Structure 1
Amino acid sequence: MARTAWVDKEQCIGCELCVNTCPGVFRLDADGKSECYDSTGDSEGNIQTAIDMCPVSCIQWKG
């Protein structure tokens, strides 16, 4: 089973770095917080880059 990216919305500040890095994986929800809507929307390497760029470290791998 592939890993899935997960966003802790309590910590997310809505900076959009992950959305801009991997728009096929992340988007902002109605509250302006990031969410992972498709962990297969980009390569694991690009998703890891988005995880590493997050200024509040609110994105993690699950699975």
Structure 2
Amino acid sequence: MPKMKTVKSASKRFKLGKNKIKRGSAFRSHILTKKSPQRKRNLRSSQYVDSTNEASVRKMLCK
């Protein structure tokens, strides 16, 4: 049986934490002039993958 391969795009987007899977925030790449500094600052912090999607992300990461 062949080895399970990691989905490379997923490995670049997600990091495994101790209990949760970390992900970056959306809406942070362009058109930043109209967004307030407070909103941009809050988007800087990492988010966590929702529990409904956690199983599929773990499968993509082969964990």
- For the aligned pair, the TM-score class normalised by the smaller chain equals under 0.3
TM-score normalised by structure 1 residue count: 0.23
Greater share of residues in strand: 1
Q: Computing the radius of gyration over CA atoms, which structure comes out larger, 1 or 2?
A: 2
Greater share of residues in helix: 2
TM-score normalised by structure 2 residue count: 0.23
